[in-house]
A and B are shown apart, each in its own frame.
Chain A
C-alpha cells in the first residue's frame, strides 16, 4: 500500500504528534474478542486510553461500539484478551476496579424513586452514610444545574432531565474513569444540543479519563481529544479528531466522518506531489498525493469543501488557484439546518460514463444565501470546484 499524504493539515498534525510527551495509560486492552454465538462482535488487537484524555469511540450502528464499551467498563467478560486499568489487570469480578469507574448508558435507566435517591445509589453501594451521600448528591446536582429536581420522582422527568440525572449519578462518584455510551442519542434534537453543551462543560472540567461512545462525528469532534473509529468490531483508525477527519485511512472512515462524495478510481499521472486520478465515471481529479501510476485510489470529498458557481453566468472564466472544476447540473436541493445540500450530476465532463452509486455526482453544502444568489434549483447548470488540497486520497 502506498504511503498516502493527503494535505497540508495532516502533515502538520503528524509533526505535532511527534513532539507529544509520554503519557501514562489509564485503560489498556489487548487482543479483546467478544463473540455472540458464532458471530464475532468485537475484535480489538490493542487500544490504549491515556490518563485524563477524552477518547471517543466512533462507529455506525452495529459496529460493536456498545459491546466494546461493556468490555472496557468491566460489565461483560471478553471471550479472549485482557483489560488493565492503570497498569493492573482487571475483570468483571474486580469490584475495587469497577468502583474506580462509572458508566452512563444510552437510555437513562433511572431506578424507581426520587432524583436524590437515584443520584445517591452509587454512593450507597459504596457504603457511604445517608448524610454523606445526601451532601455529595446535592453538590453534584448544583453543579449540573439540577438542584431543583432533587425531590422529584424520576417518572416525572423529561428525557433531557433524566439523562442529566443519569450523568449526575455517575459524576457524584468522582470516578477515575467515566464511560459514556451514546449519552445524547436518545434526546430530541434541541434538547440534545443543550445537553451536549453541558456535557462538554462538565467533561472538560473533569480530571477523569473519559471514554465516550458515539455514532455522530460531530459529537466526537466536539468532545474528544482522540477518536477511535470502529467498524465491524475492529478499530480501523485512531488519532486526534483532526487526523481522523482530515486524513481518513480508508473509504469507510472518510464516509463516516462526513465525506459524502466518494469516488473510486486510479492514478493516471503523478508529478511533483500532484496526481491526476481518473475515476470510474471518467472524472479527472487533481489531488495532492504521492501515488504510483495505476494505483487504485478512493477520492473522498467533504460537502463543505465543494464550492458552486453558475456555469453560464460569467462571460469570461474566472482565473483561480482551484485545481478541480467540474461542470454539471443540479440534481436535487435539500435544506440541511442553516445550509443547503446540493447534489450535482457531473454530466458534461468529457468522457463521462453513467455509473451508479454516486460515482458521477458531487455533493456540496452551501449557505441558503448563496443558493438564493446563484438561483440554485434542480436543472440549474453549475460548476463545482474543489481545491486539490481539500480532497482526501485514500488507498483503494
Chain B
C-alpha cells in the first residue's frame, strides 16, 4: 500500500513542480489526439451524415465497413500504418515512421470511424420531416444539411468526445508507429499511455502514476465540460 501512496505523492510533486519531461509527454498526447480528432471530424462527420441522409446501392455494405472500422483493433491499425510508412512500404520515402505525424495517422484511423458512426446515428435520428420543413422554408441542400447537423449537435459533440477519448487512451498503434522515443530526457514521440507502459517496466512507478492521474483528470474534465454543455443545451430548452 505504501508503494502506492509514495507513487501518488511523487506524482503530485512532479506535476506541481512542472517537470519538463512530464509536460512534454502530456503536450505530445494532447497534440496527437487533438489533431487526429480534428481530422477525424473533417472526414467522419461528412461520411456519417452522408450515410444517414442518403440511401444508395451498396449502402448496407458501406454501413458495415463503417461498423467494422468502429471495432478495428488498434494494434491492427498500428500494423497497417507501420507497414505503410516503413522504409520498404509505399510511403517509406516520406520517412514518417516514429514521428508525431505517424501517430496522428494511426489515431486518425481510430477516431474517424467512431465519429462517423456516432454522427450517422445522431443525424439518422433527426426526423425526415425536419429536413422537409427546412426545405419548406426555402433552405438549399447545404442549408438543410447544416440544419440537420445543428439539430443533432448534442450527439455530434458526444461523438467527437468519444473519438478524442479513443485516441488519447490508445496504446498499441501509437507505440508501434511512434516508438515512445526520447532523446537525452527530452520527449520525442512518447505519449502518456506509451510512456506509462515503459515507466512501469522500468519500475518508475511515480512517473507512471503521474501520467495515470493526468489521464484520469483529463477524462474527468472532458466529461464534466461535455455534461455541462449538454445540460446547458437542455437547460436553455427548459427556461421560460
**Does B bind A?**
yes
Known: A152-B240, A153-B239, A154-B237. A98 touches B151 (CB 8 A): no
Task: Judge whether A109 and B236 touch: CB under 8 Å.
Answer: no
Task: Judge whether A105 and B240 touch: CB under 8 Å.
Answer: no
Q: Which residues of B contact A102 (CB under 8 A)?
A: 136-138
A122 and B127 CA atoms in complex are apart in Å by 19
Task: Judge whether A107 and B151 touch: CB under 8 Å.
Answer: no
Q: Which residues of A contact B147 (CB under 8 A)?
A: 111, 121
Task: Judge whether A155 and B132 touch: CB under 8 Å.
Answer: no
With most chain A CB atoms within 10 A of its CB, the pick from B129, B134, B138 is B138
Interface size class of A (residues with CB under 8 A): 20 to 34
Task: Judge whether A155 and B238 touch: CB under 8 Å.
Answer: yes
Task: Judge whether B150 and A109 touch: CB under 8 Å.
Answer: no
A103 and B134 CA atoms in complex are apart in Å by 9
Task: Judge whether A109 and B138 touch: CB under 8 Å.
Answer: no
Task: Judge whether B135 and A98 touch: CB under 8 Å.
Answer: yes
Interchain nearest-CB distance for A113 vs B (Å): 8
Task: Judge whether A75 and B138 touch: CB under 8 Å.
Answer: no
Task: Judge whether B139 and A125 touch: CB under 8 Å.
Answer: yes
Task: Judge whether A156 and B132 touch: CB under 8 Å.
Answer: no
Task: Judge whether A156 and B239 touch: CB under 8 Å.
Answer: yes
A263 at the interface (CB under 8 A from B): no
A235 and B118 CA atoms in complex are apart in Å by 44
Task: Judge whether A122 and B237 touch: CB under 8 Å.
Answer: no
Interchain nearest-CB distance for B150 vs A (Å): 7
Q: Which residues of B contact A126 (CB under 8 A)?
A: 138
Task: Judge whether B151 and A103 touch: CB under 8 Å.
Answer: no
A112 at the interface (CB under 8 A from B): yes
B65 at the interface (CB under 8 A from A): no
A99 at the interface (CB under 8 A from B): yes
Task: Judge whether B150 and A111 touch: CB under 8 Å.
Answer: yes
A100 and B127 CA atoms in complex are apart in Å by 25
A169 and B137 CA atoms in complex are apart in Å by 8
Q: Which residues of B contact A169 (CB under 8 A)?
A: 137
Q: B224-236: contact bitstring with A at CB < 8 Å (1 yes, 0 no)?
A: 0000000001001
Interchain nearest-CB distance for A341 vs B (Å): 36
Interchain nearest-CB distance for B136 vs A (Å): 3
Known: A111-B150, A112-B151, A126-B138. A153 touches B133 (CB 8 A): no
Interchain nearest-CB distance for A222 vs B (Å): 23
Task: Judge whether B138 and A155 touch: CB under 8 Å.
Answer: no
Task: Judge whether A70 and B139 touch: CB under 8 Å.
Answer: no
Interchain nearest-CB distance for B154 vs A (Å): 9
A170 at the interface (CB under 8 A from B): yes
Interchain nearest-CB distance for A170 vs B (Å): 7
Q: Which residues of B contact A105 (CB under 8 A)?
A: 129, 132-133, 136
A173 and B237 CA atoms in complex are apart in Å by 25
Question: Which A residue sits closest to B130, measured CB to CB?
Answer: A109
Interchain nearest-CB distance for A9 vs B (Å): 38
Question: Which B residue sits closest to A104, measured CB to CB?
Answer: B136
A102 and B138 CA atoms in complex are apart in Å by 7
Interchain nearest-CB distance for B56 vs A (Å): 16
A102 and B233 CA atoms in complex are apart in Å by 28
Task: Judge whether B129 and A125 touch: CB under 8 Å.
Answer: no
Interchain nearest-CB distance for B120 vs A (Å): 20
Complex interface residues of chain A between 124 and 178 (CB less than 8 A to chain B): 125-126, 152-156, 169-170, 173
A253 at the interface (CB under 8 A from B): no
A95 at the interface (CB under 8 A from B): yes
Q: B111-135: contact bitstring with A at CB < 8 Å (1 yes, 0 no)?
A: 0000000000000000101101111
A179 and B233 CA atoms in complex are apart in Å by 31
A284 at the interface (CB under 8 A from B): no
A154 and B129 CA atoms in complex are apart in Å by 17
Q: Which residues of A contact B137 (CB under 8 A)?
A: 102-103, 121-122, 125, 169-170, 173
Partner of A70, one of B132, B143, B233, B236: B132
Complex interface residues of chain B between 204 and 240 (CB less than 8 A to chain A): 233, 236-240
Q: A87-113: contact bitstring with B at CB < 8 Å (1 yes, 0 no)?
A: 000001001001101111101010110
Interchain nearest-CB distance for B102 vs A (Å): 40
Partner of B237, one of A74, A109, A112, A125: A112
B140 at the interface (CB under 8 A from A): yes
A107 and B130 CA atoms in complex are apart in Å by 10
A169 and B133 CA atoms in complex are apart in Å by 11
Seen from chain A, the residues whose Cβ lies within 8 Å of a Cβ on chain B are: 70, 73-75, 92, 95, 98-99, 101-105, 107, 109, 111-112, 121-122, 125-126, 152-156, 169-170, 173, 179
User: Could you write out 5 A-B pairs with CB less than 8 Å apart?
Assistant: A103-B132, A109-B133, A125-B134, A126-B138, A173-B137
Besides A103-B136, A121-B139, A156-B240, 20 more A-B contacts (Cβ < 8 Å) are A75-B135, A95-B140, A99-B138, A102-B137, A102-B138, A109-B127, A109-B133, A111-B147, A111-B150, A112-B151, A112-B233, A121-B137, A121-B147, A125-B140, A125-B143, A154-B237, A155-B237, A155-B238, A156-B239, A173-B137
